[in-house]
Amino acid sequence: MSLRAACAALRANGRRLGLVPTMGALHQGHLALLGAARAAGADAVAASIFVNPLQFNASDDLARYPRDEDGDLTKLRDAGCDLVWLPPVEAMYPPGSASVIEVAGPSQGFEGDARPGHFRGVATVCAKLFLQTSADIAAFGEKDWQQLQVVRRMARDLDIPIHIEAVPTMREADGLAMSSRNRFLSAAERATAPLLYQTMQDVARAISAGLPVTQLLADDKSRLIAAGFAPDYLALVAAETLEPLAQKTTAPMRLLAAARLGSVRLLDNMAVPA
Ligand code: AMP
C-alpha cells in the first residue's frame, strides 16, 4: 500500500491524522509528540523517521547521526503509533529533484548562521511530508524553537492546511534537554551539561526582573566558557520572529542558546516571562 493510500485510510470518515516528523534515535521527547498530537485532536498518528541529508551541511555530522531503527519501531509500536514512514533518500529526493523551499524571516540568524542551508532542508522535507500525508496536525518540539517558527511560517505562507502543535521540551531530571545527540557526551561532559539550562534559567529570571539584557548575556556567556562550554550564541529574541532584543518587551520573548561541549552541540531555549 502506498503512503498516500495508508494515510487516506487513517483519515477516512473525517478522522484527523497527526504527524510526528523525526530523524529517529527516539527518546521520551519524541514520544511526547505522539501524545501531544492526540491531545490536539488527532484520531490517528503517523511518525516519519528520515535522516534528511538536505538539512546537514557537514557530511561527517550526517554520517555520525545516531540510528536505531529496530529500537525506534519498538518504541513507536509501544506508544500506539498507527503508521511509521521510513522513506529511503531516493524516495524523498528522486534523481532530477530540483525544488527547495527557502524561508526567510525566522530562518535568519542563530542556527541559520551556524548551519547554512539547514532550514532550507528542514522546510523542504516538512513541506513534502505534509503533502505526502495530508496530515491535519503536525507536532513539533519547542526544543528546536527556531525550527518550530520556520515550519509555522512555511505552512502559513504556502497555505498548507495543517495545524502545527508546539510541544514543551522534555528534560532529564537535572534539566538537560533530551536530545539524540546527548549520547555522545562523555561522563564528565554529561555532568557539566545541565549548567546550560541552569544558566539560562538565571538569565531568564534576571531579564524578567528588569536587569540590563546585554550585560547579563555577556556575563553568562563568560560563565559558560569558564565551565568548559564553547557558546555559539546566548540571545534574547522576539518569540515568533526571532528578532534580537536588547531589552525586555511586553510581547512574548524567548531566550535561545547553542553551545558546544566537547564534540556535542547543545541547543536549548526557554520562555522569558515579561
Ligand atoms: P529530531 O529527531 O531531533 O529531528 O526531532 C524530531 C522532533 O522531536 C522535533 O520536532 C524536535 O523538536 C522534537 N524534539 C526533540 N527533542 C525534544 C525534546 N527534548 N522535547 C520535546 N521535543 C523534542
Residue of 28, 33, 197 to test ligand 1 pocket, by largest number of atoms within 8 Å of CB = 33
Question: In sequence order, what are the beta bridge partners of 46?
Answer: 19, 83
pLDDT digit string (tens) for the chain, length 274 residues: 899 999 999 999 999 999 999 999 999 999 999 999 999 999 999 999 999 999 998 777 899 999 999 999 999 999 999 999 999 999 999 999 999 999 999 999 999 999 999 999 999 999 999 999 999 999 999 999 999 999 999 999 999 999 999 999 999 999 999 999 999 999 999 999 999 999 999 999 999 999 999 999 999 999 999 999 999 999 999 999 999 999 999 999 999 999 999 999 999 999 999 9
Q: For the residues of 120-162, what is the DSSP string, one character each?
A: HHHHHHHHHHHHHHT-SEEEEEGGGHHHHHHHHHHHHHTT---
Q: Is 138 in the pocket of ligand 1 (CB under 6 A)?
A: no
Alpha carbon of 138 to ligand 1 centroid (Å): 12
For the CA of 171, the nearest atom of ligand 1: 19
Contact between 187 and 160 (Cβ < 8 Å): no
Q: Is 141 in the pocket of ligand 1 (CB under 6 A)?
A: yes
Q: Is 177 in the pocket of ligand 1 (CB under 6 A)?
A: yes
φ, ψ of residue 266 in degrees (nearest 5): -90, 140
Torsion region of 222: left, alpha or beta (phi above 0 gives left; psi -120 to 50 gives alpha): alpha
Q: Rounded CA gap, 253 and 272, in Å? A: 5
